[in-house]
Structure 1
Amino acid sequence: MTTRTATTTAAMTTADAALAAPRSAASLLQILWLASPALPVGGFSYSEGLESAVDAGLVSDEASAAAWLTDQLHLGLPRSDLAVVAQAIPAWRANDLTRITQLNHWVLQTRETLEFRLQSEQMGRSLMEWARQLGELGTGVFEQLHSAQLDPPTYPVACACAAASTGASVHDSLVGYAFGWCENMVQASIKSVPLGQSAGQRMLARLSKQIPTAVDHAIHLHDDDRQAFTPLLAIHSARHETQYSRLFRS
């Protein structure tokens, strides 16, 4: 290789790296945006059975709340929602609407309570409306969701559509999804137990350490491995539907 060729190659490599860095930063920012509790999809208004567990005395302090959410993070989220998001992102990028419809139906059919199903439907519709309200910034996501004719789009599938448009990796997208869930559930714990903000931050730190394991689990699941089977959580979600006094939506 001549000196000139080597210099040109080095310059191209430097230029490629300079271009890749902004793209990576933009993708990361969009994933953080999707994970934010400020995203107007209503995640903050659900406790996913936690409020009923508090009412029953199963969750009463920081330790029991952290243990409850850690179990949910490992036993529920990666085997259902995270696994669906992991499989839906490449399907959206390939415009495989048959696969998208299949995954959406799976979510609707496997929600263990009416409360869980209504939550997924409401948040999915809200994310689609969010994309529509963004105008040019959300046009691609809205058009993809609209063209898929999902009735209704569930939140994991709709969120996967938005994540697919960012260019972020599946792994990073799942980390963002899981962290957003953790933030919402920690806030639900703070309000319903109740707990202080410092306790909430300790819980979030504990959950954050568990997210990589949950994400790795979800990424390696196949269709036959997905499941929605969390009996105790389902019992408390069902009880929450008729709980007399509630802070959170049913």
Structure 2
Amino acid sequence: MASVAQLDRLLLRRDPAVLMRRAGMTPDGWQQVLLRRRPHRALVTTSRQSGKSTTAAAMGLHRAHTTPRTTVVAVSPTQRQSALLISRVKVFAEAVGITLAKDNALSVELPNRSVIYALPGSPDTVRGYSPELLLIDEAAYTTPQLYTACLPMLAATGGDLIAVSTPNGQQGWFWAEWSGQGAPGWLRIEVPYTQIARISGEFIIGQRASMSAERFAAEYECVFNAATTGLFNPADLAAALRDDPVLDGSGLPDPREIMRRNRARHTTGTGAA
């Protein structure tokens, strides 16, 4: 008969969301979908304060813990953000009783010889790694040069690539991939503030009052605002041409949501959905 400790390890292996619950967090629906589905390629567009970095840290630690001698690389726009991501990895490790073999400001090594590196977003810093899992945090705020430097890292391992971000307008590589202008085969998940339980209605009222409708739409409603206006909205065209679905925070496919929302913005003349 299996012991309580053995059952506990089995549960953690099967359900990555256990990491968050053991750390005192209640994972939102989108976090559970992303953690449990283990996609090969995923783009996650989220509201501010959605738990992007926390989810990336949980994904990285779970992969490293359950697969010996695995390399996980997490890339963020700045070194400060990379250090914060590693700090979240350490919180999760402590919560589930994983003793780290090595513990540095921007990397940790587990007893099973798996390593997690958190790197600042410079093309020069990411060369030389061959991860089984590549995480790009706040991806819309990283450069196309960084993305180009990251892709060859996965050539030998065939590793997974997960990019999470708040929108940063209709520009850059993240927007190109999200809108269907890049490579096929992405799982797309959209997480507006309405899918995040810890964001209160009172807070949202204050945020609406303190910023423009366009900025609010980008920060909280997952809208990639167009740089210029014209007869056709670029987001409408991209959504119409893209065949693969966008998932909302509950994990339900909603392939035309972006087109619907952007059409409403274009009709009303505001940046809000």
Q: Same fold (TM over 0.5)?
A: no
> Where is the helix percentage greater, Structure 1 or Structure 2?
1
> Where is the strand percentage greater, Structure 1 or Structure 2?
2
Greater relative contact order (Cα 8 A, min sep 6): structure 1 or 2?
Answer: 1
TM-score after normalising by structure 1 = 0.27
Larger Rg over CA atoms = 1
TM-score after normalising by structure 2 = 0.26
